[in-house]
Amino acid sequence: MHGSQPCDVEFWFEFGSNYSYLSAMRIEDAAQQLAVRVVWKPFLLGPILRALGMQTSPFVLQKEKGAYVWRDMERQCRKYRLRWQRPSTFPRVSVLPLRVALIGAGEPWIGAFCRRVMELNFVLDQDINQADRLASILTELGLAASNILTEAQAEPAKQQLRQQTEEARSRGIFGAPTFFVGTEMFWGNDRLDDALRFASQRA
């Protein structure tokens, strides 16, 4: 990892997180330009926030910050040329797509799958925790949807997501998206480019 190859960047994300949407849509292209490899790290943000004393997103708990965030998202999406529709339900339950993402984390389809789920939430304003919608996405990607969804709904996948979330907490993650390059942590979509540059300079 510290040899002649660029470092990996770990991308810790949540399908319910709007700022994770911005990063999920951009990270593969941006990383490729710097020859950095992306390691996809889906986790559950809810238990992390609850451990910090928050029962839901700070964008719901703090009305002033919440009001600001939706305006900020409009501007950010325009800046990055991403489509955007404010979700009518926020934050959306994301357990099932996160388990699918864990199964696909090392597969070539992970990026495309995550972008489709993010668009379901933040462009099409649809529930993302429905097996049939995820099956459509997986099928469109040429994958064996029913096998993957059966695996995602079995106990080992549930346990794996709990473990990954516990790892997030133990590494000091307090929000999403978060990036790690080795032990160096970067928080928020606003640090994506810094994290990638840091990874590429360690090459």
Sign for the CA dihedral angle at 8, 26, 153, 142 comes to: negative
Q: Which is nearer to a second copy, 107 or 184 (CB)?
A: 184
Q: Which is nearer to a second copy, 104 or 177 (CB)?
A: 177
How is residue 39 written in tokens? Answer: 């390691």
Q: Which of residues 171-200 bind a second copy (CB under 8 A)?
A: 172-175, 184-188, 190-191, 194
Candidate ranges 24-32, 139-147, 149-157, 168-176; the one touching a second copy (CB under 8 A): 168-176
CA atoms of 66 and 2, how far apart (whole Å): 40
Start-end of H helices in 62-109: 63-79, 95-104
Q: Which is nearer to a second copy, 56 or 139 (CB)?
A: 56
Q: What is the DSSP letter of 39?
A: E
Give the CA angle between residues 171, 202, 184 to the nearest 5°. Answer: 15
Using the rule CB under 8 A, is 71 a contact of a second copy? yes
Alpha carbon of residue 197 to chain centroid: 20
How is residue 75 written in tokens? Answer: 């501007």
Residue window 137-156: x/- pattern of binding to a second copy, with contact defined by CB under 8 A: --------------------
Min dist. Cβ of residue 158 to a second copy (A) = 25
Alpha carbon of residue 64 to chain centroid: 25
Min dist. Cβ of residue 96 to a second copy (A) = 27
Which of 35, 67, 144, 154 is close enough to bind a second copy by CB under 8 A? 67
Q: Interface with a second copy by CB under 8 A: which residues? A: 52, 62, 64-65, 67-68, 71-72, 75, 79, 172-175, 184-188, 190-191, 194
